[in-house]
Amino acid sequence: MQLTSTQSIASALALASCSLIGQTQAAETVPANDDWKVDAAIMYYGEQDRVQAAEAIGNVQKAFGDSSLLDLKIVVDSLTGASASGAVAQAQSQTFTRPSGKGEYTVKAGDTPLDDTFHDTRVQLSANWQEILNQDWTTNVGMYASKEFDYLSMGLNAGVERSFNKNNTTIALSGAFTNDVVDPVGGRPVALSEMVFSADYNSDAEYQAAFDQTRLNGDDTKQTTDVMIGVTQILNRNWLMQANYGLSSVSGYMTDPYKILSEVDLNGLTQGYRYENRPDSRLKHSVFLMTKGALDSGVVDFSYRYSTDDWDITSHTLETHYRYYFSPSFYGQLHLRYYQQQAAEFYQPFLMVGDALPEYASADYRIGDMTAYTIGLKFGQRLSGGHEMTYRLEYYQQNPDSNGTEIPGQLQNYDLFPSVKAIVAQVSYSF
Amino acid sequence: MSNVLYKPLIKTALALAIASSLLGCSSLGVQPWEKDQFAREDMALNSEKLDLALDDHIYFSKEGTSGGRSLAGGGCGCN
């Protein structure tokens, strides 16, 4: 018995040394005594005829000894282009008052109304401190701030992780609190108030007085509390799995101040436009399951997310990344994602003239029925000194669907649920 | 009414699922010297954190649900 046990230890040691030798290449890319790690990326996101965005992101990680890690991140993005306003296409051209109340824009006959007012730059900063307390316990705390012209978001987060079962199992509990301040251009619209037009008034002063009647003074806030519990489990020598449950409670201003609904008659003719209104509380649940495996010449992961909330938005997301190493320093990666969403209970593509106004209504396709898919390719090149350069190109398409609303008259001639097609291009550098 | 009936059932099912998976965990896993594959940088759960952050931002802005993989990480007025 003694002999067998010694043999088994010897073979285990031999196996362990082989593994260490096998790791030499990987270890070279991340020198153990290098306390700094920098990741930077530039991304372009462009929708056909709609939003264009450029985003730069930088992340610096600094280790202090073996137990402390500081993470600093900065994101700067710039947005321009047009976004669906929520109004429906018509046989005639349509004129809309800009959200600021100053000026108008016109949409051609037959076109889906897009509001081209959007130009925004956002800066986001975040910092996170991770402390390994001992072999079993790790904690982290962080803060977050994001500022754009009409929006400020600030948050705190903290988490704790406990490892057991020879570090094969980790349970993580984390929480975050975020306070957002919304200060829309032109003010917050009065819920479901009617859009006014300067052409209907005799003077600018009269128009301005009427416009002001559709607006509320001052900014508004939104508070988000997130709690998440997750389990990560090593299954065998190559595979691990992760399961998360997340609860998110949001209260405050969640209306999109720039979205409207067309009010149409039985022939489908638009008689006016009203500003949308959403509930001021939302409770969301999510379950996320992922498995990730180390392959001889690559890595693969599969994940599924289920999300549901008291707005009745339910979604299913399936996603996979598959990486293949053509050589030790060059890889290609395929990314596939499928998303399916069920509309919020108050979503409706338009309002009907003569119907009683609902308390809440939004024609924002992003909370309507929808499927979406992403297909992406990424290539990574490991350079000398542990540097790495990657290129990513993805195609993202959203296919909004009808929620079953009966489409009256001339509206049947138009695609009320047009697809949105976007390209994502990204270059990243790490050292 | 159906919600009232289903909620305790869902909660019980979730509790059972979590409890059974935790019990199952104690028999899963590998010895410390068998973790070479998990030491690989590309096997870390956040090995592509910039990509994941950028993706989260896109999907957060364009879809009705978000998060799940990690805490949503703060808001923005993204259109």
Q: Which residues on neighbouring strands pair with residue A142, listed in sequence order?
A: A128, A157
Residue-range definition of the domain harbouring residue A376: 35-430
Residues A45 and A51: their CA atoms lie apart, in Å, by 8
pTM of the model: 0.88
| Residue A345 amino acid letter | E
Where residue A341 falls among pLDDT bands split at 50, 70, 90? very high
Least confident of A3-12, A247-256, A326-335, A422-431: A3-12
| Tally of structural domains, chain A | 1
Q: Indicate whether B33 belongs to any domain.
A: yes
Q: Indicate whether B77 belongs to any domain.
A: no
> Considering chain A, what is the average pLDDT of its residues?
92
Residues A28 and A45: their CA atoms lie apart, in Å, by 34
Residues 6+ apart with CB under 8 A from B38: A234, A240, A294
Residues A72 and A60: their CA atoms lie apart, in Å, by 5
Q: Indicate whether A382 belongs to any domain.
A: yes
Q: Indicate whether A19 belongs to any domain.
A: no
User: For A148-159, how does the pLDDT look when each residue is reduced to its tens digit (9 = 90+)?
Assistant: 999 999 999 999
Smallest Cα–Cα separation from B79: which of A114, A419, A311, A196?
A: A114
Mean per-residue pLDDT, A65-78: 95
Q: Indicate whether A96 belongs to any domain.
A: yes
pLDDT of residue B79 exceeding 60, the answer is no
Q: Indicate whether A3 belongs to any domain.
A: no
Q: Indicate whether A12 belongs to any domain.
A: no
pLDDT of residue A45 exceeding 80, the answer is yes
Q: Do A224 and B75 touch (CB under 8 A)?
A: yes
Where residue B70 falls among pLDDT bands split at 50, 70, 90? confident
pLDDT for the residue B16: 60
Q: How far is CA A47 from CA A425, A428, B70, B78, in A?
A: 12, 21, 27, 14
Check which CATH number belongs to the domain holding A162 and give it.
2.40.160.40
User: For A253-293, how does the pLDDT look when each residue is reduced to its tens digit (9 = 90+)?
Assistant: 999 999 999 999 999 999 999 999 999 999 999 999 999 99
Where residue A117 falls among pLDDT bands split at 50, 70, 90? confident
Mean per-residue pLDDT, A222-240: 96
Q: Do A339 and B30 touch (CB under 8 A)?
A: no
Contacts with A428 from chain B: Cβ below 8 Å = 50-51
Q: Do A169 and B29 touch (CB under 8 A)?
A: yes
Which tokens belong to A12?
């285990």
Where residue B28 falls among pLDDT bands split at 50, 70, 90? confident
Q: Indicate whether A11 belongs to any domain.
A: no
User: For B8-21, how does the pLDDT look when each residue is reduced to its tens digit (9 = 90+)?
Assistant: 556 666 666 655 55
pLDDT for the residue B10: 62
Surface of B (19-48) touching A: CB under 8 A: 21-22, 25-26, 28-43, 45, 48
Least confident of A32-41, A224-233, B35-44: A32-41
Where residue B75 falls among pLDDT bands split at 50, 70, 90? low
Q: Chain A within 8 Å of B4 (Cβ-Cβ)? A: no
Residue-range definition of the domain harbouring residue B25: 2-62
Q: Indicate whether A8 belongs to any domain.
A: no
Where residue B71 falls among pLDDT bands split at 50, 70, 90? confident
Q: Indicate whether B73 belongs to any domain.
A: no
Q: Indicate whether B78 belongs to any domain.
A: no
pLDDT of residue B2 exceeding 50, the answer is no
Given a contact cutoff of 8 angstroms between Cβ atoms, the answer to whether A75 and A40 are in contact is: no
Q: Do B38 and A294 touch (CB under 8 A)?
A: yes
| Tally of structural domains, chain B | 1
Q: Indicate whether A24 belongs to any domain.
A: no
